[in-house]
Amino acid sequence: MNTSTGPRAVLDIWCDLQCPDCHRAQEDVRALRERYGDALEIRLRHFPLEKNKHAYAAAQAAEEAYAQGAGDAYVTALLSRTQELGRRGEELLSEVARELSLDAEEVETSLVDGRHLLAVDADQAEARALGVTGTPTYLIDGERLDGGRSQEGLRERIEEIADRLLGR
């Protein structure tokens, strides 16, 4: 496994935390992390879709979870409960925070005071500039890969690009 001293590649994943396709993509993300370790930096980027009522709040809550040191676990937990998030909304955001021993009150406060709005809005603006229209969407070495309709072949294409970038 490469460490941060060797070559690195970056994979951005635009995600909606209420999106069932993003939930299904998590298996590929896990496999990529396992295969590349620190050599492939995988960055979650927010692209809450208008059709998903609680996705924007979920993105802000995830940013607060990252600020508290448990963002990846929080995102994974939310993505495993996308349907429930659709039904329960902000109540579930707080519940997941408590389950992960985060400061749930601080997560709730962050939704009120908007401290993470700029981060979420910046991700959305960049995504739109790159032509992102759905989730999940991947960007590696300037190549955009759209996974909203099908994940078929995407992990293999990401691996091809990552292997080239990493000299494998």
pLDDT in tens, 7-37: 789 999 999 999 999 998 998 999 999 999 9
What does the pLDDT look like over 84-128, one tens digit per residue? 999 999 999 999 999 999 999 999 999 999 999 999 999 999 999
Q: Are 34 and 66 in contact (CB under 8 A)?
A: no
Q: Amino acid letter at 20?
A: P
pTM for the whole structure:
0.89
Residue 62 has pLDDT above 70, yes or no: yes
State the Cα–Cα distance between residues 8 and 108, nearest whole angstrom: 36
pLDDT tens for 116-154 read 999 999 999 999 999 999 999 999 999 999 876 667 788
